[in-house]
Structure 1
Amino acid sequence: MGLVTPDLGYFVWALVAFLVVFLILKKFAWKPILKSLNEREQNIAGAIASAEKVKAEMAQLQNENEALLAKAREERAALLKEARETKDKIINEAKEQAKTEASKIIADAQQAINAQKMAALTEVKNEVGKLVVEVSEKILKQELSSPNKQEAHINGLVDSIKLN
C-alpha cells in the first residue's frame, strides 16, 4: 500500500519540485511559447485573409472571363450574320447578272434566227422565181399546138421539178 498512498515527505518534495519547474518554465519558457502561439495564430489569420482575398479576385476574374466570352460570342454571331448577308448578296447579284446575260444571249440568238429566216425566205423566193422563169422559158420554147399538149407538157415539168 505504500505505492498508492505516498508519504508526506515525498508529497512535499514532489510539490516543491513541481513548483520550481513551473516557475522556471513560467519565467523562461511561457512567454516564448505564448509568443510563438500568437505568431502562429496571426500567420493563420493572415493566410485566411489572403485566401479570402484570392477567392474574391478569382470570382472577379471569373466574372470578367464570362463577360469576355459573352462579348466574343456576340461578335462571332455578328460576323456570321454579316458573312451570310454578304454571301446572299453576292449570290443574288450573280443570279441577276446571269439572268441579264441569258436574256442578252437569247435576244441575240433570236435576232440571228430571224436574220437567217429572212435570208432563207429570200433565197426560197429567188429560187421559186428562177424556177418559174425556167419553166416559162421551156414552155415558150416548145411549140405547142394544142391545149392538151400544153397541159401535158406543164404537168410533166411540174413532176420533174423537186421542191425542197
Structure 2
Amino acid sequence: MNLLTPEPGLLIWSSVSFLILLFLLTKYAWKPIIHALRVREETIAYSLREAERARQEMVNIEKTQKQILDQARVERDEMIKEAKEIRDKLVMEARDVAKLEAQKILSAAKSQLEQDKRAAIEDLKKQVALLSVDIASRLLQQELSDPEKQKGLIKNYLNEATFN
C-alpha cells in the first residue's frame, strides 16, 4: 500500500462515503444549521434595529427633557420677575399709603395745634380781661374810698361827657 498512489476501490468507496455523508449532512444538518444562522442573523438585525430605535428614542427623550427644562427655566424666570413686580408694586402702594397716613396725621396734628392755640389765646384773653377787671375794681376801690377823690372823679366824668 502506497500512500501516494491510491487504489481505485478505496477511491470509489471513499467517494461514495463522502457523497452519502454530503447528502445526509445537506438533508439533516445544513438546513437546520442554515436555518438557525438565518434566525440568529434576523435576531441580531432586529436587535440592532431596536437598539437604534431605542437610541433614537433616547435622543428624542433627551431633546424633550432639555426643552422641558428650558421651558421650566423660562417659567421660573417669569414667575420671579412677576413676584418682583408684585413686591415692588406692594412696596410702592405701602409707601403711598404711609405717606397719605402721615399727611393725615400731620394735618390732624396741625389742626389740633391750631385749635389748642386758639383755645389758649381765648383763655389768655379771658384771664387778661378778668385781671383787668380785677385791677380796675381795685383801683376804683382805692379811688372811691376817699370822698374827695370821688368828687374829683365825678367832676372829671361830667366834664368829659357831652350831653345832647
Question: Shorter-normalised TM-score: what interval?
Answer: 0.7 to 0.9
Q: How far is the alpha carbon of 1:27 from its aligned partner? A: 2.5
Letter in 2 for 1:95: R
Q: What's the counterpart of residue 38 of structure 1?
A: 38
Q: How far is the alpha carbon of 1:144 from its aligned partner? A: 6.2
Q: What's the counterpart of residue 151 of structure 1?
A: none
TM-score between the two structures when normalised by the length of structure 2: 0.73
User: Higher mean Cα deviation, 136-145 or 109-118?
Assistant: 136-145
Instruction: Give the alignment of 1:13-162 within 5 angstroms.
Output: 19=18, 20-142=20-142, 143=145
The runs of 5 or more residues in structure 2 that have no matched partner are 148-164
Q: How far is the alpha carbon of 1:107 from its aligned partner? A: 0.8
Letter in 1 for 2:24: I
CA deviation map 1:1-58 (0-9, x unaligned)? xxxx9xx99xx59957963444422232111111111111111111111111111111
Letter in 1 for 2:62: Q
Report the number of matched residues: 137
**Judging changes above 3 Å, is the alpha-carbon distance between structure 1 residues 25 and 117 closer, same or farther for their aligned structure 2 residues?**
same
Runs of 4+ in 1 over 2 A off after TM superposition: 12-23, 142-145
**Could you tell me how far apart the structure 2 residues matched to 1:129 and 1:51 are?**
114
Q: Secondary structure at the match of 1:38?
A: helix
Superposed CA RMSD = 2.6
The runs of 5 or more residues in structure 1 that have no matched partner are 146-164
Q: Secondary structure at the match of 1:110?
A: helix
Higher relative contact order (CA closer than 8 Å, sequence separation 6+)? 1
**Could you tell me how far apart the structure 2 residues matched to 1:58 and 1:131 are?**
105
Query: Identity, % of aligned pairs?
Result: 33
**Could you tell me how far apart the structure 2 residues matched to 1:118 and 1:87 are?**
46
**Judging changes above 3 Å, is the alpha-carbon distance between structure 1 residues 137 and 82 closer, same or farther for their aligned structure 2 residues?**
same
**Could you tell me how far apart the structure 2 residues matched to 1:111 and 1:44 are?**
98
